[in-house]
Structure 1
Amino acid sequence: MTLSPGVEKSPYDNSPAAREGSLPQGLKSSPSIPNPDYPHLGFNPTPGDTETVSDLYKKLSSCAKVLEDTHGLVTKLMDGSYWEGDAAVAFREQLDGGPLPLNLKNAAHSIRKAARHVHSWEGELDEFQSRAKKLEQDAKEAQEALDTAKGHATKAKNNPDLDGKGSQHEKAQKSLTGANTAVEKAQSDLEKVIGKAKKLAEEHEEKARYRAGKIRGATKKLAPHEPGWLEEFADWFTENLPDILSFTAGVIGLVALFVATGGVAAAVLLLSAAALSATALLLRVTDDEVWASLVDGFTKGEFDSDFWGNIVSLSGDALGALPGLSAVGLGARATFRALQTGEEAVKLGRVMTTMGSMTMSKAQAISSLGNPALNLIVRGARNSAEAGEIVEISSSSLGVVTAGYGLASSAVDALDNDGAKDSTTGIDGARTVLDGGALIDLARYLF
């Protein structure tokens, strides 16, 4: 699917980049061919028609609605309470165990998802084209300034005093030099504007490719496909790897609550959970879809379920990774100080041994830190220590349950619904705020 139809590659453009097709669409036309919409830039940096994209969004949304209604009707017919009689029985026998209901559901979901990306592209294309029009206006003003400067330079060059001597000659020469300098500056200003337009063309091309990729990904379920269970599991595992790592880190964190704090076992569990959380965090922050959701939220106010879900997930992974990263950082600093006094060259083996020992020591100390926010919650309880332990275990257990439900819902369509996602996001958000209280004692220990 082409999101933004552009100009075909010009036969006059024989540059290597153009031959390889690596130029953005708006830069593929020959500079000798004027662009009626952008005469001063010389090219259209943001090709595309927002009205065409808008019409496509409306058609996809309408198609998704029809498929959703059809799926609902077929579901009612299969249920048996909506249509009775011999014809109904025969109809259900024909559909029972068949692919139609699932294909209708998958198609509706895919087209609805594709429609959302087309709608996002409409807004992005409109913003790109607004910036292009502004650059065209800037280029027009820069060109006018350049033409004026060239006129002054021509006039100064034709001054008869240049052929004379004395003060008049010096004055004319100075005027010519100033005029030539003004021409150079005006030319530079125009080239800067055109440079900005070229960067805009590259940005437009990159975003168009991103949206096109998301639309292709959204329509995977449109074509009936029956992969083997191993392929299905591999796809599911890859797609949900950050959530799997976060879930595993949560389980390890829950186990750590039953281990004596300050011991070697607690330190090992802390470092293991932190490593998993750090990996999950890295996978999330390098995911284009996560970034797109966050950017749309902060720049366009699209604070939807995906936005808040990503915020909570990133915050939870960051909180989970921070204790372990702190232990490694403190261990590295202590190792450097311990080995700094040595006069002989330090071998790598000794550095690694010392680093491991120091990191483990710091992890043991961090695992014994408390949570002042939790202490405030249980303050006044008959046995505040026991109450705090119950709250902490309950919170961690609830986190494991919500994370497990999230993984289950990604594998079972019946569990996948926005209401449940919003509820788990709210629960995890509250837990993140509570867990964040531990940063107070961590900060005191670090600084």
Structure 2
Amino acid sequence: MTQLLGESTYWRGEAADAFREALDGDLPRQLRNAHRSVSKAAAKLRGWHDDLVGYQATARRYDTRAKLDAAALMRAESHHERARTTNVPEPELKAAGDAVTRAREALESVRRLARELEETHRVEAGRVAKSLNEATERLAPGEPGVLDRVLKWVDEDLGDFLSDVSAVVGFAAMVIGPLFPPVGLALLFVATGASFGALALHLRDPRVHKSLKDGLTKGEFDADFWDCTVTLTGDALGSVPGVAAVAHGAKSASAASHALGALGDSGGIASAARTGSSAFTSGATIAMDGLRQVENPLAGWALRSTPDAVQETVKYTLTGTGAITATSHLPVFGENETVDNTATAVDGVRAVVDDGPSAAAKAAHAWTIIAR
């Protein structure tokens, strides 16, 4: 790297500056730290190798000695048994018994040494393992955990993150809304706001531009093209309620300001701002609450002859499926092309049979209340 930096001094231009900045930043320090970390670890492993070779040699000696002592014990026990059954003199019988005792003690001694060696091996192995971990302290960076990967993904793919938030929060609003209407309404504002933010970010994303351009101009209708198309469509359809609510809120604020002026209120700018803000919030809330109650006309027509329970199940299933596909490509689940393509296909179908008709019905309803 030092050589590269030295040779690049003759290179001029933006690319050269970017090259030198990349090499002269954190990378050299990280490489030096990695070298020191690996060197420390290598030294520990070399020492452990030498210790392990010695332990293995000692263990082999103990194993050989234990076999010999076990054989000696069997012979001593056999001799003692013959002496006991043949009525040999007492001194000879006692000597045979003492021989058995000594053989047992010898075997137990070598077994004790083997257990001590095993414990020494265990302690030293733990010490070496700890020293290997310490070799990375303040040197080698740790492997990123799940939270680190998720935060990195959010930072690099904020648009996708907001799309996923919109889908999940929208489903939560549908579930919670009937039980706690104010909470469900607040969640709807969050969901539509997230969709609008995702749409704005995706429209500015060069990758999205290139994929759509290649598809429309070169006929490259690959998985990336359809993924970008479905994502933008979902973001746009999810933004409809939010745009409509804001538009109605702005109309209400404008009407309140005109009414305040007609009454000749002399409260000044602060009074006008409070009145306009209150009217905007009230108007947006009323509009969003009305949009929340607009059903999917296509599903309603297709299921018109079915019981209410079936219609409710289909409604929750369609929205819940969107929440599931939204989380399918999170980094905690890894990258799986089959899963991603399946999620894109499912979202495309949902856009046609659920999101699209629902957004159209909501837009029509919003136009009705705004045009009053």
TM-score by length of 2: 0.54
Q: Which residue of 1 aligns with 2:349?
A: 430
Alignment of 1:328-367 (within 5 A): 328-343=246-261, 344=265, 345-347=268-270, 348-367=273-292
Tell me which amino acid in the other structure corresponds to 2:360.
I
The alignment's C-alpha RMSD in Å is 2.6
Tell me which amino acid in the other structure corresponds to 1:287.
D
Output the CA distance in 2 between the equivalents of 1:226 and 1:286: 34
Please say if 1:317 is aligned against 2:235. Answer: yes
Tell me which amino acid in the other structure corresponds to 1:281.
L
Q: Provide closer, same or farther for how the CA distance between residues 233 and 271 of structure 1 changes in structure 2, counting only shifts above 3 A.
A: closer
Q: Which residue of 2 aligns with 1:172?
A: none
Shift of 1:280: 1.4
Shift of 1:389: 1.5
Classify the secondary structure of the residue corresponding to 2:251: helix
Q: Which residue of 1 aligns with 2:312?
A: 389
Alignment of 1:45-444 (within 5 A): 228-229=144-145, 232-258=149-175, 259-260=177-178, 263-343=181-261, 344=265, 345-347=268-270, 348-381=273-306, 383=307, 385-407=308-330, 410-413=331-334, 416-434=335-353, 435-444=355-364
Classify the secondary structure of the residue corresponding to 2:305: coil
The structure with more radius of gyration: 2
Shift of 1:264: 3.2
Output the CA distance in 1 between the equivalents of 2:337 and 2:311: 33
1:275-328 Cα distance to aligned partner (Å, 9 max, x none): 111111111111111111111111111111011011111111111111011111
Larger RCO of the pair (alpha carbons < 8 Å, separation 6+): 2
Output the CA distance in 1 between the equivalents of 2:363 and 2:162: 26
Q: Provide closer, same or farther for how the CA distance between residues 281 and 261 of structure 1 changes in structure 2, counting only shifts above 3 A.
A: farther
Output the CA distance in 1 between the equivalents of 2:162 and 2:360: 26
Tell me which amino acid in the other structure corresponds to 1:375.
G
Shift of 1:244: 2.3
Tell me which amino acid in the other structure corresponds to 2:321.
L
Output the CA distance in 1 between the equivalents of 2:178 and 2:150: 37
Tell me which amino acid in the other structure corresponds to 1:284.
H
Moved more, 342-351 or 285-294: 342-351
Q: Which residue of 1 aligns with 2:45?
A: none
Shift of 1:245: 1.9
1:36-60 Cα distance to aligned partner (Å, 9 max, x none): xxxxxxxxxxxxxxxxxxxxxxxxx
1:236 touches 1:411 (CA, 8 Å); kept in 2? no
Classify the secondary structure of the residue corresponding to 1:441: helix
Q: Provide closer, same or farther for how the CA distance between residues 228 and 420 of structure 1 changes in structure 2, counting only shifts above 3 A.
A: closer
Tell me which amino acid in the other structure corresponds to 1:417.
N
1:262 touches 1:365 (CA, 8 Å); kept in 2? no
Output the CA distance in 1 between the equivalents of 2:349 and 2:260: 49
Output the CA distance in 2 between the equivalents of 1:444 and 1:398: 25
2:253 touches 2:279 (CA, 8 Å); kept in 1? yes
Classify the secondary structure of the residue corresponding to 1:390: helix
Output the CA distance in 2 between the equivalents of 1:235 and 1:255: 25
Tell me which amino acid in the other structure corresponds to 1:255.
A
Q: Provide closer, same or farther for how the CA distance between residues 440 and 317 of structure 1 changes in structure 2, counting only shifts above 3 A.
A: closer
Tell me which amino acid in the other structure corresponds to 2:258.
Q
1:339 touches 1:346 (CA, 8 Å); kept in 2? no
Shift of 1:21: 6.1
Output the CA distance in 2 between the equivalents of 1:336 and 1:262: 30
Output the CA distance in 2 between the equivalents of 1:244 and 1:444: 29
Q: Provide closer, same or farther for how the CA distance between residues 428 and 297 of structure 1 changes in structure 2, counting only shifts above 3 A.
A: same
Shift of 1:396: 1.3
Shift of 1:412: 4.4
Tell me which amino acid in the other structure corresponds to 2:184.
A
The structure richer in helix per residue is 2
1:305 touches 1:422 (CA, 8 Å); kept in 2? yes
TM-score by length of 1: 0.46
For structure 2, the 5+ residue unaligned runs are 1-11, 15-139
Percent identical among aligned pairs is: 30
- Aligned length in residues: 221
